[in-house]
Amino acid sequence: QVHLTESGGGSVQAGGSLRLSCAASGYTSVTNCVVWFRQVPGKEREGVAAIVTYGHYPMYYADSVQGRFTISRDIHKNTVYLQMNSLNLEDTGMYFCAAEPLSRCGDDWYDSTRYDYWGQGTQVTVSI
């Protein structure tokens, strides 16, 4: 059973930065797809960025965060990070990480129905 724990959320002023972490346990393979999603009340969960936990594969970003957010991994710590810079009000939301074992993500990485394993979420609030 894969277990995911997010951390690093908080309140920040517009233009500021935060780094989220997604620590995983229970993987039975090294090649897993990990995705950051975010959600605000009344809206669907939105895929933000995706990475494969091992090997040389593309990283994926939503258009809305391209150039501002960076997803990365620490193989030894089984942790995926989301560095968020130049935050704006539209980045406010609950951020979740999700995992798909034995996966290289692929072009439909943003489809939340693919993922069986989710963390509890960490809140990010951006204010003026």
pLDDT of 96 reads 98
Token readout for 11 is 């309140």
Residues near 56 by beta carbon (within 8 Å), at least 6 away in sequence: none
pLDDT < 50 regions, the chain = none
pLDDT at 76: 93
The Cα 55–Cα 128 span in angstroms is 39
The tokens of 92 are what? Answer: 């406010």
Torsion sign (Cα): 42, 44, 49, 50 = positive
Q: Which residue has the tokens 């936990």?
A: 53
Q: How many CB atoms lie within 10 A of CB 99?
A: 23
What's the pLDDT score for residue 30? Answer: 87
**What pLDDT sits at residue 104?**
95
Cα–Cα nearest to 20, from 88, 54, 90, 69? 69
Residue 9: C-alpha distances to residues 25, 72, 74 (Å)? 20, 17, 19
Written as six digits, the tokens of 89 are 């009000």
Residue 99: its pLDDT value, please?
98
